[in-house]
Structure 1
Amino acid sequence: LLINKPDGTFLLRFSDSEIGGITIAWKFDSPDRN
């Protein structure tokens, strides 16, 4: 979902099954990655 988005893009996903449940995902390119 985030692979084609620019660096710094983030996604918040709220849980329907757990009250107060949230998942945060973000995209960044690490200069150390080979």
Structure 2
Amino acid sequence: MVDCLIKLLTVEVEVKLVLSCALDCVHFYCELNTT
């Protein structure tokens, strides 16, 4: 049970990292296009 919860938490953290990285990339790309 605890093992399952830990796996869920690590997946959530990984998803948040990927999302924030993706947002950074989009931000960077948009700045490149506007200048």
TM normalised by structure 2 equals 0.23
Q: Under a length normalisation based on structure 1, what TM-score does the superposition of the two structures give?
A: 0.23
Structure with the larger RCO, 1 or 2 (CA within 8 Å, 6+ apart): 1
Of Structure 1 and Structure 2, the greater helix share is in 2
